[in-house]
Structure 1
Amino acid sequence: MNMNIPLVDLRWQTDLIKKDFLKEIGGILDSSAFILGPKVKEFEKHFAEYCGTKYCAGISSGTDALILALRAAGIEYGDEIITVSNTFIATSASISACGGKPVFVDIEEDSYNINPSLISRAITAKTKAIMPVHLYGQCADMTPIMKLAKNYGLFVIEDACQAHGAEYTGKRSGSFGMGAAFSFYPGKNLGAWGEGGAVVTNDQKIFDEVTVLRDHGSREKYIHLKEGFNMRLHGIQGAVLDLKLKMLDEWNALRRTAAGIYKRELSNVNELILPIEKPYAKHVYHLFVIRVKDRESLQKFLLDKGIGAGFHYKYPLHLQEAYAYLGYKEGDLPITEKIMKEIISLPIYPGITEEQIIYICKAVKEFFAGKK
């Protein structure tokens, strides 16, 4: 009999905090603090402490957090930002939304993160920043990136939208650059019950600018210092996130355990390339992504068995219609293009059981046995 195993299952988490949340929502209803307010402030304080930064500003989404981090850093029309093509479009679209130009560089074949050795050749007189993406829950190699940024007078904005609690040489993601953006989309390691995001930083000027920009350019109601946006985090999401934050390390540990079971069960499948954990990293496995030559057939086979397998992501950004104006062509980023034809994500979340993972792994093995 087939199991039904979704790519992500949030019900387990929801059941754990539902009673506590219902208590919290009473205070929100009594205060009518639905936008920002004390629950958001409490979460901001706790999340900054968690990340090892001085400041945190709750934002309406991860995309908006990226935009505001870049705007606060002074990105203007024509500025170039170096980033990667194997990411969700929010990374590059946030650059464009500020008037900047995304400049894509290739990635490391083992970590799938930006290759620091290729960054310098992409730097021009118009380059203002580097935006590394901590993809799938593993930090990019930040030491050479920060050194490059210092040598060239650039700043670094971390796209940490998939890396809540991930570590690099013992420091948490979000604590390296001038600022960092997190997404609290429901399926993330730390997910809201709706949209949400945050900018964390050690720079008070960045924090002050972000908090003004997120609230229509205002510190005081109806007094506008500049043209800003409506990018505020809701009080209810602040309460949900603060409750979940208390359990994030435990949930990340469960993800790491699940990844370990996958690796144990699939280690002898020669047709697969499994994810690796770099020596400097503590991977939090937002996604468990394997590589296989015929991923479309594997996905269909798994879906037929009730297993929610997906692609993160199916096509590199530099070859998509949205970025045709940048003039990239096939072959410009060979490692990115190769990997993105092979990757497929298997279900992973804190509540997944060993029995479910073994069922998935047996199905994967069955697929390859059938091909032989």
Structure 2
Amino acid sequence: MIKFLDLQKINAQYRELLIQKSTGLIDSGWYVQGQMVKQFEEELAAYCGVKHAVGVANGLDALTLILKGYLQLGRLNPGDEVLVPANTYIASILAISESGLVPVLVEPDLQTMNLDVLAAKNKLTDRTRAILNVHLYGRVSWSEELSDLLAEKNLLCIEDNAQAIGAIFKGKKTGSLGDAAGFSFYPGKNLGCLGDGGAVTTNDDELAAMVRILGNYGSQKKYHNEVKGVNSRLDELQAGLLSVKLPFLDAENARRREIAQRYLKEIRNDKLQLPQDPANETEHVWHLFVIRTENRSQLQEYLSGKEIQTMIHYPIPPHKQPAYSEWNNHSFPITEKIHETVLSLPMSPVLTDQEVDEVITAVNNY
């Protein structure tokens, strides 16, 4: 069986280092908000090229705390509108709702499956204050047109960087392009821990301080609570394990690009539409390799018969979910087409050349 993502094999590469780091933590006697979190925050900030990184409990909390931080600082107000791609994973939208802000869904570009800037312009109102820009599937969602729009309308830009750590736009890494960014270190991400984890990056001193306060019960001094916060802190153990894996991230992303280039060059089947290849291959870190086909169930069943695992990211769009029943009758035809036709092929840095050969051969023979 060719696994869609072999997490055991990925982490086995670093087994001894992970054990050493875990043993060091056990022996230290300091298990929350210690030196391992501080070290990883410094490493992540340096990697992304920003002033601040703040560890939090997970990727959803990262986005939520950014938005709540802006509310506390008065840069957003309850009821303000935040534009967000309609085809994103629902977590991006949940963060907006949870913060008392209004998510406004924007149809994506069908080719990149990222934010369509023209469509975003058409959704602007006098209540629009921010764009939550998602680097979906590992592809950078950024352009000069987006920068111009943000400047012209004085909008905040929050990057959802859960899937694109290490991706680059004109020499700058994702996580440093907007005003702030949220990261997820869920095990299946390009940089994954062995549990849940997340972080916020920003160059904004005030926002970084507020995110840290909000994630620590609203406190920066023990038993002194300045604001109504939550408990959302990156676990000391997970921070240590992420510090082990971060130095290998660029090499793993490079392997993902090698596999993606083979798929793009060698898959030849007119029943499929392959993802668009960016002009600069270092932009994309290929968290997922997502094809589109009108016969998705048939193809998935066929590949399963060949012992090749695939996944659907994502089968149901947010506006069709019961959680957002108020949108269930709304029509987003591009988003719906994407969710009805996407299929993710195996993609991980530990796929062997032989396994890639087998995937390509099977897809071409379909």
> Which residue of 1 is the match for residue 336 of structure 2?
337
Mapping 1:157-168, distance limit 5 Å:
157-168=158-169
CA contact (8 A) 2:167 2:283 kept: yes
- Counting matched residue pairs gives 361
Shift of 1:221: 1.3
Distance 2:278 2:104 in 1: 25
CA contact (8 A) 2:138 2:167 kept: yes
> Which residue of 2 is the match for residue 23 of structure 1?
20
Aligned-partner residue type, residue 172 of structure 1 = K
Aligned-partner residue type, residue 278 of structure 2 = K
Distance 1:197 1:179 in 2: 13
CA contact (8 A) 1:113 1:135 kept: yes
Shift of 1:328: 5.1
Distance 1:315 1:261 in 2: 29
> Which residue of 2 is the match for residue 370 of structure 1?
none
> Which residue of 1 is the match for residue 7 of structure 2?
10
> Which residue of 2 is the match for residue 362 of structure 1?
361
> Which residue of 2 is the match for residue 202 of structure 1?
203
Change (3 A) 1:103 1:62: same
Shift of 1:298: 0.8
> Which residue of 2 is the match for residue 269 of structure 1?
269
Aligned-partner residue type, residue 273 of structure 2 = I
> Which residue of 2 is the match for residue 175 of structure 1?
176
Distance 2:329 2:183 in 1: 28
Distance 2:138 2:18 in 1: 27
CA contact (8 A) 2:320 2:327 kept: no
Distance 2:144 2:241 in 1: 34
1:71 aligns with 2:68: yes
Shift of 1:239: 0.7
Aligned-partner residue type, residue 66 of structure 1 = L
Aligned-partner residue type, residue 45 of structure 1 = E
Q: Which whole-Å deviations, capped at 9, do the CAs of 1:72-112 have from their partners, x for residues lacking one? A: 12244312110112121100001000011110111112111
Per mean C-alpha deviation after superposition, the further-off stretch among 312-321 and 178-187 is 312-321
Distance 1:310 1:23 in 2: 34
Aligned-partner residue type, residue 3 of structure 2 = P
Distance 1:214 1:293 in 2: 44
| SS in structure 2 at match of 1:102 | strand
| SS in structure 2 at match of 1:341 | helix
| SS in structure 2 at match of 1:131 | strand
Q: Which whole-Å deviations, capped at 9, do the CAs of 1:246-295 have from their partners, x for residues lacking one? A: 000000001001111212220x2122111123236611000010111100
Q: Which runs of 5+ in 2 are unaligned?
A: none
| SS in structure 1 at match of 2:14 | helix
**What's the TM-score once normalised by structure 2's chain length?**
0.95
Distance 2:299 2:33 in 1: 45
What value does the CA root-mean-square deviation take over the aligned residues? 1.4
> Which residue of 1 is the match for residue 33 of structure 2?
36
Q: Which whole-Å deviations, capped at 9, do the CAs of 1:301-346 have from their partners, x for residues lacking one? A: 112222111111112212322222146523xx22222222211000
**What's the TM-score once normalised by structure 1's chain length?**
0.94
Moved over 4 A (4+): none
Shift of 1:353: 0.9
Aligned-partner residue type, residue 303 of structure 2 = L
Distance 2:4 2:131 in 1: 31
Distance 1:324 1:163 in 2: 30
Distance 1:326 1:258 in 2: 38
1:293 aligns with 2:294: yes
Percent of matched pairs sharing the same residue? 39
| SS in structure 1 at match of 2:326 | helix
Q: Which whole-Å deviations, capped at 9, do the CAs of 1:122-153 have from their partners, x for residues lacking one? A: 11122111011000001112422222122112
Aligned-partner residue type, residue 351 of structure 2 = I
| SS in structure 1 at match of 2:340 | coil
Aligned-partner residue type, residue 221 of structure 1 = K
Shift of 1:32: 2.3
CA contact (8 A) 1:132 1:157 kept: yes
| SS in structure 2 at match of 1:246 | helix
Distance 1:326 1:314 in 2: 17
Distance 2:13 2:240 in 1: 14
Aligned-partner residue type, residue 22 of structure 1 = I
Mapping 1:127-276, distance limit 5 Å:
127-266=128-267, 268-276=268-276
> Which residue of 2 is the match for residue 59 of structure 1?
56
> Which residue of 2 is the match for residue 50 of structure 1?
47
CA contact (8 A) 2:255 2:349 kept: yes
Distance 1:36 1:142 in 2: 37
| SS in structure 1 at match of 2:343 | strand
Distance 1:277 1:320 in 2: 31
